[in-house]
Amino acid sequence: MKKALVLALSLACAGFAAQAQTAAVKPANAQVKAAGPQIQFDEMKYDFGTAKQGEVVKHVFKFKNIGTQPLVISNIGVSCGCTTPEWTKDPVMPGKTGTITANFNTAGKMGMQNKVLTVESNSAAGNAMVSVVGEVKENGTPTMTVDKVESASATSADKVKIKADEGKAKVKAKKS
């Protein structure tokens, strides 16, 4: 009888101990709120694919304050003057969202581009970086103006535009 009582008491204690340990374990996907403000972006990099030279690529980065205090973005540094940011100026309360809009002017740019925006805020994790990437291709048909042409149909005072399109040249003469 004593053995049965000791065994039942031991099982009860073991059950309570196991239950106490399980309650302290958090699931791996549980979101832990950081002390202070904490910024979390939906995406860190936006790939615009290809754009023609001279176009303005615009993208809105969305973020959430997953911290416990208001998040304030004080500045956004850019890697190039061709990128201008706009952002939520008011404090973003815990659990709320804000936006950062990146405007990348492709004028004068060619080839692969990677424009980095450094988000300076009061986030507990410090500065965050987001980027806009993609390829800038030549815009349409190049046009060249020639001041002097020797031809039977144009004089040296005429302006001539030469357009190259898929290996063929077109010439337009215009009286000055």
Whether the pLDDT of residue 117 is over 70: the answer is yes
- What is the reported pLDDT for 10? 55
What is the 3 state secondary structure string of the chain?
CHHHHHHHHHHHHHHHHHHHHHHHCCCCCCCCCECCCCEEECCCEEEEEEEECCCEEEEEEEEEECECCCECEEEEEECCCCEEEEECCCCECCCCEEEEEEEEECCCCCEEEEEEEEEEECCCCCCEEEEEEEEEECCCCCEEEECCCCCCCCCCCCEEEEEEECCEEEEEEECC
User: 148 pLDDT band (50/70/90 cuts)?
Assistant: very low
Among candidates 66, 65, 83, which has minimal Cα distance to 136? 83
Tens digits of per-residue pLDDT, 64-109?
A: 999 999 999 999 999 899 999 999 999 999 999 999 999 999 999 9
Q: What per-residue confidence (pLDDT) applies to 163?
A: 45
Residue 139 has a pLDDT of 83
Give the pTM. Answer: 0.62
